[in-house]
């Protein structure tokens, strides 16, 4: 009998449910979007009930499309976005929405931790840079500004914990996502006492810690009936989306760099032990025994490209929709007419603050070098290049810690764009390999499950599952352009940083009450 496994990827703007066979081939999938609420410039929240409903809807849709026979579904495994925070009351109902990694309202408290030196102490134990993305910093903010809410809090959890509690009635959290909270000690593999004191939470309020291959059984029969699976099917807890993405693109050997551009982005490499950046700029996150992921996350990936489409190319977007043409493909075609370097137009993509490489929640986006000769086509080309320049800076930081990358595996929504893939190869001056499957985090979750269930002997079996790999070779003819522009772009990043706080403070004093980020389409 053929075995099948489901990977559930709880993302920032949608939940993807993907059914794989044991060769790693996609059999069926469903993608259910939901809003990211941004009522103020610093807010970024989701509704936990909308995400739970999306999860159930996705599982149900995939099971109906697959027509599996009884016993063919071997297991379900989870991936989830990092740094989510939900406060739960005594009755196990949410006191807050999901406060996501993109929420910057705790920026002041991150700055205070950094300036006091306490942030670096915590970083050395937790591997999480001091930034408002982390639940530790968010809890500092909530305790200071919403003490009544904290007094009502019985459980402090993330979105995956919420989903699994609804399904199994238990609060459990894998080491990988716990690591990303800033409350977990990567050396003792337990909650960190100093971090708990800083966050003003107790162990009793936090979920039970388990490894990333932990198995849950006894699915609530009511949900099993709705989904159409047996309640005895094992659920494997899985890990964070970033670490699983490395696994899902076969970037788990030393020196193999994974570059992801989805809504956000990241550059990561796997090490065999926790390696901590002495300057506190890179994260260190657990994946599985003997495998740790070192890298840097960026806030501003595909979500910036979406802004360009919606705000600068709205007429073209409408035309594309009427003609049933992919609007992003239309924009990359427009950008491809502009030469490398966009004729000296530079773009800093910090529309939502930034994590790596600058770790500044107040950072803001900017075009630099505009002349009367520049067009909207130049602006879209500069936007795509600016996102890659930012990732290149993260790569330089990783190179200083773990050595020069020997290979680059790239994934995420950007991988559908030939132009963007080529930009990555040209700016990084290295071959870029693109696995056939775009669902790297879901595949990574399934590989964790396959090992736990005895279907494979080792995680390295993923190399036979990632499918055909397309390789983009760098074009030496454009090296001089990018080598000249990159130092200017980096210097500008440093120069502009002195004014980010001032403009961010102005925006907070004069917020746009209509601001809201809609779900990806």
pLDDT tens digits, 246-288? 999 999 999 999 998 888 899 999 999 999 999 999 999 999 9
Q: Is the pLDDT of residue 67 over 60?
A: yes
Tell me what pLDDT residue 517 has.
Answer: 47
> For the segment 335-367, what is each residue's pLDDT rounded down to a tens digit?
999 999 999 999 999 998 999 999 998 999 999
225 and 348 both lie in a single domain: no
Assigned domain for 457 exists = no
Assigned domain for 456 exists = no
Tell me what pLDDT residue 468 has.
Answer: 67
DSSP state of 6: E
Mean pLDDT score, 40-62: 95
Tell me what pLDDT residue 412 has.
Answer: 81
Q: Is the pLDDT of residue 56 over 90?
A: yes
> For the segment 320-340, what is each residue's pLDDT rounded down to a tens digit?
999 999 999 999 999 999 999
For residues 255 and 55, what is the distance between their CA atoms, to the nearest angstrom?
35
Count of domains for the chain: 2
366 and 239 both lie in a single domain: no
Q: Is the pLDDT of residue 65 over 60?
A: yes
- On average, the pLDDT of the chain sits at 94
For the chain, percent of residues with pLDDT exceeding 90:
88
Q: Is the pLDDT of residue 518 over 50?
A: no
Tell me what pLDDT residue 515 has.
Answer: 58
> For the segment 5-40, what is each residue's pLDDT rounded down to a tens digit?
999 999 988 999 999 999 999 999 999 999 999 888
For residues 144 and 87, what is the distance between their CA atoms, to the nearest angstrom?
15
Assigned domain for 337 exists = yes
Tell me what pLDDT residue 1 has.
Answer: 60
Q: Is the pLDDT of residue 479 over 90?
A: yes
Q: What is the three-class DSSP state of 97?
A: coil
Tell me what pLDDT residue 39 has.
Answer: 86
351 and 215 both lie in a single domain: no
- Residue 400's domain comprises 302-406+475-509
236 and 317 both lie in a single domain: no
242, 371, 305, 247: which is closest to 520 by C-alpha?
Answer: 305
DSSP bridge pairs for 295: 268, 283
- Using a 10 angstrom Cβ sphere, with 0-12 exposed, 13-18 middle and 19 or more buried, the burial of residue 494 is exposed
Q: How far is CA 188 from the centre of its chain?
A: 25
pTM metric for this prediction: 0.92
Q: Which of 243, 262, 285 is the last residue of a domain?
A: 243
Q: Which of 194, 225, 243 is the last residue of a domain?
A: 243
Put the strands of the sheet holding 235-240 in their side by side order: 26-33, 14-21, 4-10, 73-80, 235-240, 215-216
253, 495, 262, 282: which is closest to 396 by C-alpha?
Answer: 282
9 and 151 both lie in a single domain: yes
């Amino acid at each position: 009998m053929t075995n099948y496994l489901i990977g559930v990827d709880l993302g920032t703007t949608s939940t993807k449910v993907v059914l794989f066979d044991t060769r790693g081939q996609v059999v069926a999938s469903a993608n259910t979007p939901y809003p990211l609420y941004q009522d103020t410039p610093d807010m970024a929240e989701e509704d936990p009930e909308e995400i739970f409903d999306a999860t159930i809807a996705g599982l149900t849709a995939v099971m109906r499309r697959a027509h599996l026979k009884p016993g063919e579904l071997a297991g379900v495994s989870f991936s989830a976005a990092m740094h989510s925070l939900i406060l739960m009351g005594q009755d196990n109902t949410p006191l807050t929405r999901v406060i996501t990694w993109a929420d910057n309202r705790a920026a002041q408290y991150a700055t205070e931790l950094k300036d006091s030196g306490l942030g670096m102490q915590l970083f050395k134990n937790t591997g999480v840079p001091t930034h408002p993305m982390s639940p530790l910093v968010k809890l500092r903010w909530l305790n200071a500004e919403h003490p009544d809410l904290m007094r009502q809090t019985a459980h402090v959890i993330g979105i995956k914990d919420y989903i699994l509690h609804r399904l199994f009635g238990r609060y459990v959290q894998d080491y990988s996502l716990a690591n990303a909270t800033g409350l977990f000690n990567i050396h003792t593999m337990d909650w960190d006492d100093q971090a708990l004191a800083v966050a003003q939470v107790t162990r009793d309020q936090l979920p039970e810690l388990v490894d990333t291959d932990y198995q849950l059984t006894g699915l609530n029969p009511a949900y099993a009936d709705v989904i159409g699976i047996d309640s005895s099917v094992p659920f494997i807890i899985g890990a964070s989306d970033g670490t699983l993405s490395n696994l899902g693109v076969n970037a788990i050997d030393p020196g193999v760099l994974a570059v992801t551009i989805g809504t956000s982005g990241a550059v990561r490499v796997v090490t065999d032990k926790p390696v901590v950046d002495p300057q506190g700029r890179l994260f260190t996150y657990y994946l599985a025994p003997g495998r740790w992921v070192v890298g840097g996350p960026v806030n501003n990936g595909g979500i910036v490209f979406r802004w360009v489409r919606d705000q600068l190319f709205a007429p073209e977007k409408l035309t594309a929709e009427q003609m049933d043409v992919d609007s992003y493909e239309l924009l990359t075609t427009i950008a491809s007419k502009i030469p490398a370097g966009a004729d000296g137009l530079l773009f800093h993509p910090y529309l939502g603050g930034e994590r790596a490489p600058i770790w500044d929640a107040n950072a803001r986006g900017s075009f630099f070098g505009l002349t009367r000769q520049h067009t909207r086509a130049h602006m879209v080309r500069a936007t795509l290049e600016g996102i890659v320049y930012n990732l290149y800076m993260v790569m330089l930081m990783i190179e200083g810690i773990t050595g020069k990358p020997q290979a680059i595996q790239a994934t995420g929504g950007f991988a559908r764009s030939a132009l963007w893939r080529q930009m990555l190869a040209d700016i990084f001056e290295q071959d870029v390999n693109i696995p056939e499957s775009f669902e790297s985090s879901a595949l990574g979750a399934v590989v964790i499950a396959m090992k736990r269930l005895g279907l494979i002997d080792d995680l390295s079996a993923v190399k036979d599952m990632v499918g055909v790999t397309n390789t983009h070779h760098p074009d030496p003819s454009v090296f001089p352009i990018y080598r000249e522009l990159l130092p200017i772009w980096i210097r500008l990043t440093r120069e502009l940083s002195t004014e980010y706080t001032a403009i961010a403070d102005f925006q907070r004093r004069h917020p746009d009450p209509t601001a809201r980020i809609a779900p990806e389409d």
